[in-house]
Amino acid sequence: MRLGVDIGGTFTDFVFYDGSSFAIHKLPTTPTDPSRALLQGVRDLEVPQETVMVHGTTVATNALLERQGARTALLTTAGFADLLEIGRQTRPSLYDLEPRRPEPLVPARWRYEVEERVSSQGMILTPLRADDLLPIACEMAREGIQSVAICFLFSFLHPAHERTARDALLAASVWDGQAPFVSLSSEVLPEYREYERLSTVVINAYVSPLLGDYLINLEQSLGRSFWVMQSNGGSISSQTARAEGVRTVLSGPAGGVLGAHHVAQGAGFANVITLDMGGTSTDISLCPGYIQTTADSTIGGLPLRIPTISIHTIGAGGGSIAQVDAGGALMVGPQSAGADPGPACYGRGTQATVTDANLVLGRLQPDYFLGGHMRLDLAAAERAISAVAGRMGCGALAAAEGIVRVANSSMERAIRVVSVERGFDPRDFALLAFGGAGPLHACDLAAEMRIPTVLIPRRPGVLSALGMIVADVARHYSRTIMRPAAEVADAELDAIFLPLERQAMADLTAEGVPPERIALVRSLDMRYVGESYELTISMATTAPTETPRGTVLATIAEFHRVHESRYSHSSPEAPTEVVNLRLDAIGRVDKPLETLPAGEQDLSVAHLDKRPVYFGGRHLPTPLYDRDHLAPGARINGPAVLVQEDSTVVVPPRWTAEVDGQGNLIAQSSADGRAKR
C-alpha cells in the first residue's frame, strides 16, 4: 500500500493505492501549517499505519523564496567571504538599466573566514588549526546562529578541513541549548566551481533546519517515518531529507513530471510536453521519450547545482490575479490569491483570478466543482470580473475571455522555451495537461501551438501525488576529476566508481531497499576543451539495440552525438575532457497503472445537463458530462465540459476526445497532426 501526498499552493492532493485500486482526495492547503491538511487527509482516507507514504513538500521552496529560512552563517577560506555576493558575471536581464541582484542568504556580518588553504591538486598549503574555530563559534553563538554552511576552497579534493571545522564548532561549549545545524560543501556537492558549490551548500544550510523541524513533527504525528520527494524525481527517507533539504526544493513539480511520464508510457505516447497548471503557477517540462534532468538550475535568483528535473515555471495558475495597469493593459499574474483568501468565487477573496474568469465563461460549473463538494460563488466572481471590465472599458464576458487569453499566452511562451528554443518541434509531441486547471486550458494552448493531440489523465488534479507513488528511491553521488578524456582509462574510472557504488548500495539498503531492486547508473560530465559548460552523458544504454557505452571511448562518441543534437554542431576531431563522474543509485518500486473495465459507450449514462458556455465571443449550448461514467471507447465531440472530483475538462468546438483503456482522454483537433504514440 502506498500513499502519495502533494502539498500545493492552493490544494493538498492525495492518491492512495491499496494494492488493487486507487482512491483520491483533495483538501484546501493550510499555509500556516501544511501538516494540518496532510494529517486530515490521512484520517479522511483511513490510511493503514503500515502504508508507505511519499510526500512532496514546499517547505524548503517557500523558506527560500520568502527568505524565511534559518539564521545562517558561512565559514570559508580566508579571502573568500564575499564570494557569495560577488557570484558570476552573468546578466539575466541583459537590457535592464537598473539590474538588482537577489540579496545573499547570509549577510556580510555572518560570513566568517579561517586560515586554511588547499591547492587545486588537493595538496595542503596551509593547515587548518582547530583552535582558530573557538572565537568564531563564540561570535556565532552571540549572534544566535541556527545553521552553518562550511565551504573551503577545493574541499571537494580534500574534505578533511571541512570535517575538522565542523567537529571543532560543534565541540565548542558556547552554545546555549541546541548546537547549530552544520552543512559541508564536500558532502552536499563535492564538485568544482566554487561559487555554485558555495551557493548550494548555503541553500542547504538555510532550508534544512526548517524542513527538519517540519519532518520531525510530522513523523511524530504519524507515528512513523516516510519518504520525501526529491527535485530529481526520486525519493529519499525523511531522515535523509532532514540533512539534505536542498534536494527537495523542487519536490512537488518533480512529482508531476514523474506522474505524467508514467501515464504517457501507459497510454503509448513516447514524446510529451507536460503542463501542470495549479492554483499558483504552471510547470512545464518536455519529455522526448525520457525525463530530462539538469545539474544547473536557479531558484529565487540563486544557483542550485544539484540534479533536478528540467522544469520551466511561470506565475500563471488558477489563482493568478488579473489587473489593469496604468496604461490600460490587462495583466494576469504572477501574483496569486493562493489558498487564502483564494479566488473571489471561493467566498473569501475579492480580486479577479483566472478561476473566476473560467467560472464566468461557464467553463467551470459552480455546482460541480470538486465533484460537487465545494460550491463556487458565481455572483462574487462576476463582481470581481466586472471590476476589471470597468477599468478595461468592456463587458464582463469580454474581460473574462481576455483574462484566459492572457494567461494562455504566458503558457504558450513557456512551451516555446522548453521546445522551440531547445531545438524541438512541438508538433512532434502530445500536450499532457494536468493539475486542477490544466485541462481547462489544454486544447486552446495546443491549437495555438499547433500541437494536434492533448492527453488528459484520468485523475489530472492529483497527478503529482500519483507521481509520488511511482517514484523510485534515488541517491546521487559525484566526484570531480578534470582530466582530458583521452587520458582516462577504463580501469581508472572503475577505481573511482567502485567506492561510490559500495557507498550507494550501503545507503539504499540502510533505507530498506532490497539489493535486487537497486540499479546503479554511471554518467560522465563532458565538454570540449575550452568550453565552460558540460553535457552529462550516461554510460548505460537507453535502448536494447544500442551499442554498450560502458567504456570511455564509447562515451566520447556519444558525447559528440549529443552535442550535435543539442547545439546543432560537433567536432569529433577536437579534444574532450571529463569534468565530473556521476552515479545514480535507483531503488526500483512497483508502478501501478490504473485500468478501466470495458463498459457501455452510451453517452446518456454520463450526460448531466446542457448549459451555455462562452467560446470565441458567443455562447454555445454545451453538454455537461460526468467523466467518471465514461467507459473506454466513449467519444465526445466538442464543445463539451467534463466534470470530475479533481478537475474540469473543456473540449472546445472542432475538437474530439476519446477515452482509452486507462481512462485517459485523448483529444484531437480537426487539423492533421504529427504527434505519434
Q: Which residue has the higher pLDDT, 203 or 62?
A: 203
CA-closest candidate to residue 659, choices 646, 675, 644: 644
Q: How confident is the model at residue 672 (pLDDT cuts 50, 70, 90)?
A: low
The pLDDT of residue 545 is 41
Whether the pLDDT of residue 670 is over 90: the answer is no
Q: Please, are residues 526 and 534 in contact by the beta-carbon 8 Å criterion? A: yes
Whether the pLDDT of residue 676 is over 70: the answer is no
Provide the CB-side half-sphere exposure for 262 (13 A, CA).
27
Q: Which residue has the higher pLDDT, 313 or 509?
A: 509
The pLDDT of residue 549 is 57
Cell of 455: 492527453
- Starting at the edge strand found earlier in the chain, the sheet holding 640-643 runs 607-615, 618-626, 640-643, 648-651
The pLDDT of residue 92 is 74
Overall average pLDDT of the 114-126 stretch: 95
Neighbours of 387 (CB within 10 A): 18
Q: Please, are residues 428 and 286 in contact by the beta-carbon 8 Å criterion? A: no
Q: Please, are residues 501 and 520 in contact by the beta-carbon 8 Å criterion? A: yes
Provide the CB-side half-sphere exposure for 425 (13 A, CA).
8
Q: Please, are residues 675 and 428 in contact by the beta-carbon 8 Å criterion? A: yes
Overall average pLDDT of the 166-192 stretch: 92
Amino acid at 542: T
Instruction: Give per-residue pLDDT as tens, 144-156.
Output: 999 999 999 999 9
Instruction: Give per-residue pLDDT as tens, 538-566.
Output: 887 544 444 445 788 999 999 999 999 88
Overall average pLDDT of the 181-198 stretch: 94
Whether the pLDDT of residue 268 is over 90: the answer is yes
Q: Please, are residues 6 and 278 in contact by the beta-carbon 8 Å criterion? A: no
The pLDDT of residue 327 is 85
Q: Please, are residues 655 and 443 in contact by the beta-carbon 8 Å criterion? A: yes
Whether the pLDDT of residue 674 is over 60: the answer is no
Neighbours of 594 (CB within 10 A): 18
Whether the pLDDT of residue 529 is over 80: the answer is yes
Cell of 477: 553521488
Query: CA-based diameter of the chain, in Å?
Result: 81
Please state, in angstroms and rounded to a whole number, the distance separating the CA atoms of residues 366 and 604. Answer: 22
- Averaged pLDDT score across all residues of the chain: 90
Across 171-180, 356-365, 549-558, which has the greatest mean pLDDT? 356-365
Please state, in angstroms and rounded to a whole number, the distance separating the CA atoms of residues 606 and 83. Answer: 62
Q: How confident is the model at residue 177 (pLDDT cuts 50, 70, 90)?
A: confident
One-character DSSP codes across 386-433: HHHHHHHTS-HHHHHHHHHHHHHHHHHHHHHHHTGGGT--GGGSEEEE
Cell of 416: 516555446
Q: How confident is the model at residue 671 (pLDDT cuts 50, 70, 90)?
A: low
Cell of 227: 519518504
The pLDDT of residue 542 is 46
The pLDDT of residue 546 is 44
Three-class secondary structure assignment of 601-668: CCHHHCEEEEEEEEECCEEEEEEEEEHHHCCCCCEEECCEEEECCCCEEEECCCEEEEECCCCCEEEE
Overall average pLDDT of the 176-189 stretch: 92
As a whole number of Å, the end-to-end CA separation of the chain is 31
Overall average pLDDT of the 277-301 stretch: 87
Whether the pLDDT of residue 66 is over 50: the answer is yes
Interior/surface letters 162-177, b for 16+ CB within 10 angstroms, e for the rest: bebbbebbeebebeee
Whether the pLDDT of residue 463 is over 60: the answer is yes
DSSP category for residue 180: P
Cell of 27: 483538501
Cell of 474: 534515488
Please state, in angstroms and rounded to a whole number, the distance separating the CA atoms of residues 672 and 439. Answer: 21
Please state, in angstroms and rounded to a whole number, the distance separating the CA atoms of residues 251 and 7. Answer: 10
Q: Among 151-155, 161-165, 229-233, 315-319, which stretch is predicted with the lowest mean pLDDT?
A: 315-319
Q: Please, are residues 588 and 472 in contact by the beta-carbon 8 Å criterion? A: yes
The pLDDT of residue 544 is 41
